[in-house]
Chains A and B, each alone.
Chain A
C-alpha cells in the first residue's frame, strides 16, 4: 500500500496570506490527524477527523481549520498567516478513530511564513 502523502512538501507564504495543505491517507484508513512541529514547541496536536467528522481539536486559534472528504482525504487551512506559523505540518492516518490505533505519518509540509 502507498503511504500517507502530503502536498505540497514545501511552501513559502507571507504574513496575512492563507494556505491550504492536503493529506491523502493510506488506503482504507478513515482517521486523519494533523500535528504542528516546531523546534520550540515540539509536536503539537491540531485536530483529528474520522468519517468526515472532527473528533478532537487541539489548543490552536480558530485560524487553523480542517476538513475531511468522503474519500478520507483531508485538508487543513490556516488563515491570516503569522510568522509563528512557520513549521512542519504532519498528517497521520490510522484505520480506526482514536489515539490507540497506530498512526502512520506522512513526510510533512514545511511551511515558511515571511
Chain B
C-alpha cells in the first residue's frame, strides 16, 4: 500500500527565507507524486506533479520539487518566501497501472510566513 509522510505539521519561515517542506513516500512501484496547496476556505490547487522524466519539477508560484528515488522523497522548495505563500500544503502519491488505488494524501504542512 502507498503512503505519504509529511514531516512537520507546521513550518514557520521569515519573509524572503527559503521554504522547505518535506515529503517522503512509500510505494513498491515507481510513483506519481503531487504537491497541492490549500488556502483558507478554498479547495486544493495543484502546484506541481512528477510522473516520469526529469526529476526536478518546476511548478507555479516559484515552487519546485525534486524526486529522489534513493531517498523516497519529494521535498517542496521555494528560494524566497512571500507572505502570500502562507497556506497548507499537501503531498500526494499514486501509481500508474495500480488498479483502483486512489490518490493518497499526506496529513499536510501548514506554512506560516513571518514579516
Contacts and interface: CB of A to CB of B under 8 A. Distances in A.
Partners in one complex: yes
Interface of A: 4, 33, 42-43, 45, 48, 55-56, 58, 90, 92, 98-100, 102-108
Contacts of B49: 102
Interface in B31-88: 32, 34, 36, 41-46, 49, 51
A107 B42 contact: yes
Contacts of A92: 43-44
Interface residues of B, number: 24
A67 B106 CA distance: 27
For chain B, what secondary structure do more than half of its interface residues adopt (helix, strand, loop), or is it mixed?
loop
Given A42-B105, A43-B90, A100-B94, A56 B100 contact: yes
Interface of B: 32, 34, 36, 41-46, 49, 51, 90, 94, 96, 98, 100-108
A57 B94 CA distance: 15
A90 B36 CA distance: 13
B103 A45 contact: yes
Contacts of B51: 100
Given A92-B44, A100-B32, 8 more contacts: A33-B103, A45-B102, A55-B100, A90-B43, A90-B44, A99-B102, A105-B45, A108-B42
A105 B98 CA distance: 22
Contacts of B45: 105
A8 B113 CA distance: 32
Contacts of A102: 34, 46, 49
Contacts of A107: 41-43
A105 B38 CA distance: 10
A86 to B, nearest CB: 16
